[in-house]
Amino acid sequence: MNKKYKRLLQLPRDQTFFLWGPRQAGKSTLLHQFFPEAFWIDLLLYDVYRKYLTDPQQLIDEVELKKPAFVVIDEVQKLPLLLDIVHWLIENKDTRFALCGSSARKVKRGNANLLGGRGVRYELYGLSAKEIGDDLDFMRLLNNGCIPPIYQSDQPKRLLNSYISQYLKEEIASEGVVRNLPYFSEFLNVAALSDTEVLNYSTIARDIGMASSTIKGYFEILSDTLLGRFLPAYRRRPKRRIITSPKFYFFDVGVVNFLAKRGELQIKSELMGKAFENWVFHELCCYNAYCETYADFYYWRLSTGVEVDFIVNHIDCALEAKASVKINNRHLRGLRELKKEHPEVKKMVLVSMDTHDRKTQDGILVLHYTTFLDNLWAGSFF
């Protein structure tokens, strides 16, 4: 397989913007498609990086000379001081920029110039099932993940190993965000076991032999470098005791499969269930970003362990992800308990591998994942 997929993210041609996304998600390819004539600055190239590090004001002279309609700065997080020059050019020369990066950590935490709100933020994820379209091989997606070259590969483990190694080398070691790289590498493997789970920093810290505060900081690094994202608990007007710690989801199910050493996923296995839930969240995030719905996501869980995987906004929609091929009342318990707690919930959906789409007497939509995708991208849920 070596297919180029049409991405659903639409970028502006008349304004400066930031484009964030994990490595190899396809950011550079997308920018080349949108801005083929742009003046391109790739800070991954050492000579280019060194040139602007030594004299960032060279950019002003180059823009004066070339007068480009658009300037792309790739991996902008490697040289945040260049953003001061970008800001000046926007203000004084009306130059437009696409500022692309795979880690927002230095920009967010280093007091970098964020252009006074002039740079709109966009995010590109790995491939959504909608973008893959009729070529979708669902078990390939759940095993390989959604990073375009890895999804298509017949040797995904080799590429995933390289991907993690490059992440450790280029995002973690080169930026100096951790003092002990071997410990962080071990943390990655343990953290993968917590994918889709409520975070317990103390337990993970005990397993690795580190402080809880360090583990919390490591998860924040994963979030800042776009390798994962937190899912907060829904805590509005609880009648019963609920869990309030966040969950954590790695950005790509293939990466978490590799780190957790899951091997080949099998239908009906517990690991299949975790991978399926991760993928549903990925699709929700893709739709939210590309269709600009600006929804907030939460999970809901009682202290007894009963939970609903995803809450959209304030109970606009509740979604449960189950990889089962035959859904029964046991799988619906979380949504029904949520309905007791929050009778105002507007929509209740269970996404599964059960091919029998239906609506229960109490209003729960039980949808095969393909039907879920059709409804999601048609805007039926939020």
Q: Are residues 32 and 101 in the same domain?
A: yes
Q: Are residues 188 and 94 in the same domain?
A: no
Q: What single string gives the DSSP state of each residue in 323-377? A: --SS--GGGGHHHHHHHHH-TT--EEEEEES-S--EE-TTSEEEEEHHHHHHHHH
Domain boundary among 106, 123, 140: 123
In a domain, 359, yes or no: yes
Domain boundary among 123, 158, 192: 123
Encoded tokens for 31: 């920018």
Cβ neighbours, 10 Å, residue 265: 18
Distances in Å between the Cα of 370 and the Cα atoms of 100, 128, 220, 252, 377 are 32, 12, 33, 19, 11
Helix, strand, or coil (residue 309): strand
Q: What tens digit of pLDDT does each residue of 53-76 get?
A: 999 999 999 999 999 989 999 999
For residue 206, pLDDT over 70 is answered with yes
Token pair 């490059």 in the structure block, residue: 166
The continuous run of DSSP H or E covering 250 comes out as strand 247-250
Distances in Å between the Cα of 135 and the Cα atoms of 127, 129, 155, 185 are 12, 9, 18, 35
**3-state percent breakdown (helix, strand, coil) of the chain, nearest 5:** 45, 15, 40
Report the domain count for the chain: 2
Q: What tens digit of pLDDT does each residue of 112-165 get?
A: 556 666 678 999 999 999 999 998 999 999 999 999 999 999 999 999 999 999
Model pLDDT, residue 195: 97
* CB-based contact 120:11 (threshold 8 Å): no
CATH of the domain at 90: 3.40.50.300
Q: Are residues 146 and 269 in the same domain?
A: yes
Local confidence band at 338 (pLDDT 50, 70, 90 cut-offs): very high
> Residue 175: which domain range?
129-377
Q: Which of 167-176, 253-262, 298-307, 364-373 has the lowest mean pLDDT?
A: 167-176
Q: Are residues 46 and 81 in the same domain?
A: yes
Q: What tens digit of pLDDT does each residue of 158-189 get?
A: 999 999 998 887 788 776 778 788 889 999 99
Helix, strand, or coil (residue 116): helix
